[in-house]
């Protein structure tokens, strides 16, 4: 919680990340390295808030805050705090970038965007082979899963959500038969399973059914190789972590904050 009382007076602009927990995130070091190398008078801070209700206090306590990224578990809950939402983010149903508009009279307004879909889509697109990677399984059902589904749809890849909870249109892990794995050659992990420090965890899919035609993409990037990726690679699948997606969506975030 110490980062939430960051003293930002010496910086012209402040940006940040809200979520809980944030020990895994590289966003802070990425943006601050960018600011230093490009002589930008700004700072990026982690705001590790245990509840979304703490957000107004963070904003009120940091008058230089111009925008922030949103990560687990607030990509959907943040929407109730917004005054406006970009059409694509609205269609996705999740927001991971917020721009703050500060008026001369001191009033504030917030607009939400989604850069996850762009970052993921641009990252996975070169890996896809027509006729081979036309169906996907998305592990997880949160805000990141919604962005991934949106991006895959735009790339012509039909997707199915896999969750621990059974509901219409959603598979549960126990239903992942060899036939389903064989017909869905893109598998994307959007859950936090395997994220540092819990590196010995992974989604419960039948890894033995994977083949060399499968792409297993993990949105996690800390550690570099998650247990999900390791087990998929051992079965012959092509694997990739979420670092490139993080960098691509960060570029989009910076563009949004400065337009």
Contact call for residues 166 and 132 (beta carbons, < 8 A): no
| CA dist., res. 42 & res. 177, Å (int) | 50
Distance of CA 67 to the CA centre of its chain: 16
Q: What is the pLDDT of residue 259?
A: 87
What positions carry a catalytic annotation? 75
Q: What is the pLDDT of residue 184?
A: 98
pLDDT class of 8 with cuts at 50, 70, 90: low
Is the confidence at residue 3, as pLDDT, over 70?
no
Tens of pLDDT, residue by residue over 162-195, are: 999 999 999 999 999 999 999 999 999 999 999 9
**Position with higher pLDDT, 10 vs 118:** 118
Of all residues in the chain, the percent with pLDDT exceeding 90 is 90
pLDDT class of 5 with cuts at 50, 70, 90: very low
Structure-token pair, residue 157: 């890849």
| CA dist., res. 128 & res. 115, Å (int) | 20
Tens of pLDDT, residue by residue over 63-122, are: 999 999 999 999 999 999 999 999 999 999 999 999 999 988 989 999 999 999 999 999
Alpha carbon separation from 254 to 48, 49, 52 (Å, rounded)? 21, 22, 23
pLDDT class of 2 with cuts at 50, 70, 90: very low
Is the confidence at residue 218, as pLDDT, over 60?
yes
Q: What is the pLDDT of residue 11?
A: 80
Q: What is the pLDDT of residue 9?
A: 59
Is the confidence at residue 149, as pLDDT, over 80?
yes
pLDDT class of 154 with cuts at 50, 70, 90: very high
Q: Is 210 exposed, middle or buried (0-12, 13-18, 19+ CB in 10 A)?
A: buried
Q: What is the pLDDT of residue 24?
A: 73
Q: Which residues contact 95 (CB under 8 A, 6 or more apart)?
A: 70, 75, 76, 78, 79, 82, 85, 89, 112, 113, 114, 143
Is the confidence at residue 37, as pLDDT, over 70?
yes
Structure-token pair, residue 120: 């993921």
Report the pLDDT averaged over residues 202-217.
Answer: 98
Mean pLDDT of the chain: 94
């Amino acid at each position: 919680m110490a980062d939430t009382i960051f003293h930002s007076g010496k910086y012209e602009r402040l940006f940040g990340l809200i979520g809980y927990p944030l020990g895994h995130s590289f966003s802070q070091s990425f943006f601050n390295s960018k600011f230093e190398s490009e002589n930008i008078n700004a700072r990026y801070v982690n705001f590790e808030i245990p509840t979304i209700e703490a957000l107004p206090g963070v904003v009120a306590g940091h008058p230089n805050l111009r925008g922030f990224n949103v990560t687990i578990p607030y990509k959907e809950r943040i929407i109730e705090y917004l005054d406006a939402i970009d059409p694509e983010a609205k269609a996705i149903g999740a927001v991971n970038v917020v721009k703050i508009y500060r008026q001369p009279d001191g009033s504030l307004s917030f607009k939400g965007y989604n850069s996850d879909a762009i970052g993921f889509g641009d990252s996975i697109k070169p890996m896809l082979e027509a006729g081979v990677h036309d169906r996907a399984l998305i592990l997880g059902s949160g805000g990141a899963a919604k962005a991934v589904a949106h991006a895959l749809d735009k790339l012509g890849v039909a997707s199915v959500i896999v969750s621990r909870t059974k509901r219409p249109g959603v598979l549960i892990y126990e239903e992942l038969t060899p036939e389903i794995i064989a017909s869905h050659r893109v598998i994307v992990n959007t859950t936090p399973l395997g994220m540092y420090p819990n590196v010995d965890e992974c989604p419960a899919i039948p890894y033995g059914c994977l083949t060399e035609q499968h792409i297993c993409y993990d949105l996690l990037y800390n550690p570099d190789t998650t247990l999900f990726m390791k087990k998929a690679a051992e079965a012959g699948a092509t694997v990739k972590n979420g670092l490139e997606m993080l960098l691509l969506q960060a570029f989009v975030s910076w563009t949004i904050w400065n337009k």
